Amino acid sequence: MNTRYSRRWTYAANYLPSPRTCVSLLNVNDTELYCFGGIFYNCVGPTRKLLTIDDILVYSDNKKVWRQVACMPAPRHNAHVLHYKNQAYIIGGQDVEKPDHPLTSVIKTPVPTEKFSWGPLKDVPLPISAYAAVVLPPIEEPPESKAS
């Protein structure tokens, strides 16, 4: 048996303040996790339904606790979030109220921060949801060789 890897999962963080799925997670500076939006099942009262939420939660490695810090301009789930040059870019996603209409919007805010300031960006050409994205370094073209 390979003892290098444990076959046992452990809890690295406290539970989220409310159960949710289809969130967008962002690791910032290897010390904080940002959790954007998601889907929440409202099972209180006579109306039981899925809700897309707009809140932003932050887990700090130092404090070992999740806390709500802000809300996005509009609710979304299944979006993708990228961290580039101290900005969080949130791209696309969906809202359970309009399940057949993925979003085209892109928003950004500085991170890490306690005061979120949202800036809209140009929409993506096609609606997108439940996908993956990465930031790549610039591709440098090889210098052209001079003919002798």
Lowest mean pLDDT among 5-14, 32-41, 51-60, 68-77: 5-14
**What is the per-residue pLDDT for 147?**
59
Residue 82 has pLDDT above 80, yes or no: yes
Residue 13 has pLDDT above 90, yes or no: no
C-alpha–C-alpha distance, residues 85 and 50, integer Å = 34
Name the average pLDDT for the chain: 86
- Residues 6 or more apart in contact with residue 85 via CB below 8 angstroms: none
How far does CA 74 lie from the centroid of its chain?
Answer: 14
Higher-confidence residue: 132 or 145? 132
- DSSP 3-state assignment of 55? strand
* Residue range 8-12: mean pLDDT, rounded: 78
